[in-house]
Amino acid sequence: MRNKLLENFLRISEIPRGSGNEKKISDFFVDVAKKNNLYYYQDEYYNVLIKKKGNIPGDTLAFQAHLDMVCKKREGSLHNFETDGIDVIVDGDKVYAKDTTLGADQGVGLTFMLTMIEDNTLKHPDLEFLFTSQEETTFNGAINFPYDKVESKKLINLDNDRDDNYIIASAGDILNTYTLEANLSKKDLPSYKIIIDTTPGGNSGVYIKESEFNAIATMAKLLNNKDVYLKSINGGTFENDLATHCEAVIQTNLDINIFKDYKIERIDNDSSFSKEETNNIINEILLLKSGYLSNISSCNLGMIETNDNIVKLTYLIRSFDNLELNNISSNTKGLNNFKCNEVYRDSIWKLNKDSGLSNKYRKIYYDKYHEYPEEGVIQGGIELTCIQNKIDNLDVLCVGATMENLHTPNEISYISSWEKIYDLLIKFIA
């Protein structure tokens, strides 16, 4: 099974599939359905549903994974995510990519589903395979899919990153942007660019403790209470990832050696924001705290952008309690002259101790390994939060293979873990 799983992962990895660029990978699965004479449905968002008739009795079971991946590369890499497949490196059991994210999130889940679709030796009831788009950005695929086409009341999502646990609940979230329209004015002061690019990265739902030390927050702390004038500040790439990079252009008469722990370069520039507006920007960043705010809530300041005289911050708020979620969002509005706009919100996946899927998975896992898998709840939002609201009485479960350093060029997964989870899934459907 190792060779088949690896072969299928490599087939998927050949296809560019960044968020918003899912047409080719979507068409790939349509072609797979056609070649295997299976029912398929593809919508305008490039979601795909495939149905495979069973050969044993049992309730219809659905599997779900997202088609897109986070696209990040090392500095100096010439990789073009719009046109190039991932250059996958297999080193024994370890799988990673050359200078880019691997896309194991969720390429491994796609691999499991592809392998099940094409294997006609499996014993299984009726199966449904739902492939969704834009999970890493807007959830637009999962939000807009017509769920009246799904028959199953049982769905296994494959978006977990550990093979020794299963997810049974996740936080809801709100994505806000905060925008300041300021004024640039001429100043006869030296200008410098400061670069912070050594902070840890990864998915903020997985590494939320490290979010407190993201590059944007680090830059604000560095500049706070100093006699500087901001011209621009830019950092981060995705709202749900830790910002690993931040650049600020400033004007100041200060001894620049006070910033010597970071990269500094003298540049040509003759304008910047006022002192008041500079303070408003820094204070807004410091106000939008990242990391855990309580034992059930967390936030991530994922991006900051400066376009001419407009500064925009992107802030993801998560909680297992709707009241606390709304309070955090309300308490960050209308401060430091920034205007707040809610971009989207996702509902909470509430704990269900009576889940038949979870109980069956625990038994199958125990029969194989003589111990129970851990139960997990996560701060990161996953598509199950909206899918569960679209299908009445849907029982859900989230499992997956082990992955490390998600959403970074250091992303790694392990073939032995793929084999472990695939074997459990095959036992499950039988």
Would you give the end-to-end CA distance of the chain in angstroms? 17
CA distances, 96 to each of 102, 167, 406 (Å): 6, 24, 11
Token couple for 301? 């300041």
Share of the chain residues as helix, strand and coil, in percent rounded to the nearest 5: 30, 30, 40
> How confident is the model at residue 137, as a pLDDT?
85
Give the three-state DSSP class for 296: coil
- Note the pTM of the prediction, 2 decimals: 0.84
> Quick one: which of 208, 181, 160 has its CA closest to 316?
208
pLDDT of residue 222: 97
For 380-420, how does the pLDDT look when each residue is reduced to its tens digit (9 = 90+)? Answer: 778 888 898 899 999 999 999 999 999 999 999 999 999 99
pLDDT value of position 205: 80
All residues at 6 or more sequence positions from 22 whose CB lies less than 8 Å from its CB, including other chains? 46, 67, 68, 133, 134, 141
* pLDDT at res. 202: 84
Q: Which of 197, 113, 96 is nearest to 155 (CA)?
A: 113
pLDDT value of position 347: 86
Residue 307: how many other CB atoms lie within 10 Å: 9
Q: Give the model confidence (pLDDT) of 253-267 as tens digits.
A: 999 999 999 999 999
CATH number of 2-171+349-429: 3.40.630.10
Looking up tokens 């990242």, which residue turns up? 290
pLDDT value at residue 353? 78
Helix ranges restricted to H, 77-181: 104-118, 140-144
Q: Please state the domain extents for the chain.
A: 2-171+349-429, 174-346
Pick from 75, 95, 22: nearest CA to 87: 95
pLDDT of 281 reads 98
Q: Which residue ranges of the chain lie beneath pLDDT 70? A: none
